[in-house]
Amino acid sequence: MKQYKAIIFDMDGTVLDTLDELTTSLAHVYGAHHLPVRTRQEVRAALGYGYTGLIKRTAPDLDPAEQQKLAEEFKTWYSSHCQGHTHPYDGIVSLLSALQAGGRKTAIVSNKGQAAVSELHEEFFSHLVSFSMGESPRYRKKPEPDMVWEALKRLGCAREDAVYIGDSEVDSMTARNAGLDVILVTWGFRDKEDLERLHPDYLVQSPDELARLLLGQ
């Protein structure tokens, strides 16, 4: 396998299990507006498109202005309640430590708002990953390539020497739009069968398998 110099990760569903926190935060916002509370599985299927995308996919009958209002409410609530049940998937800390020891450059690029991304980066990854980028007015959201290109610029790495790792169709499209190889993981927010249909360069089942793949072990 090609030895990548830079490895960019998605956050939710790839390095962090955030599903419980996102589900309870959405339930809080929807409950306050007397909207149907979505199940954990419904929220899982709607993730990957940022806060606005989550609202559009779980409250599709609302008009766009109301969806945007709810997205802002969700952003505010979740940004201050994004910890507690959130944790790295088993094996992720070891994987990132091994990549660091192996001299690989790493970063996280997420459609989650920057405030929550920064908070979670400081709690879990500040000693393991160079930086974590979240949604902001400066860059278009994934699957547009803007944030990935900015991350590569900060890492000082060319596209052909980098790979993007995620868990959804959004991540696959992001990598392709940015001109990077893509690795998809099966422990996140999409089922293995759905990921196989995306034809990633690699599909991996565990962080240990990913470590062996990236480090040539």
Find the CATH number of the domain harbouring 198: 3.40.50.1000
Q: Is residue 154 part of a domain?
A: yes
Domain match, 144 and 66 both: no
pLDDT in tens, 199-216: 999 999 999 999 999 998
pLDDT at site 89: 97
pLDDT in tens, 114-162: 999 999 999 999 999 999 999 999 999 999 999 999 999 999 999 999 9
**How many structural domains does the chain have?**
2
Instruction: Please give the model's pTM, rounded to 2 decimal places.
Output: 0.92
Backbone angles phi, psi at 166, to 5 degrees: -150, -165
Domain match, 68 and 113 both: no
How many CB atoms are closer than 10 A to CB 208?
15
Alpha carbon distance 131, 48 (integer Å): 20
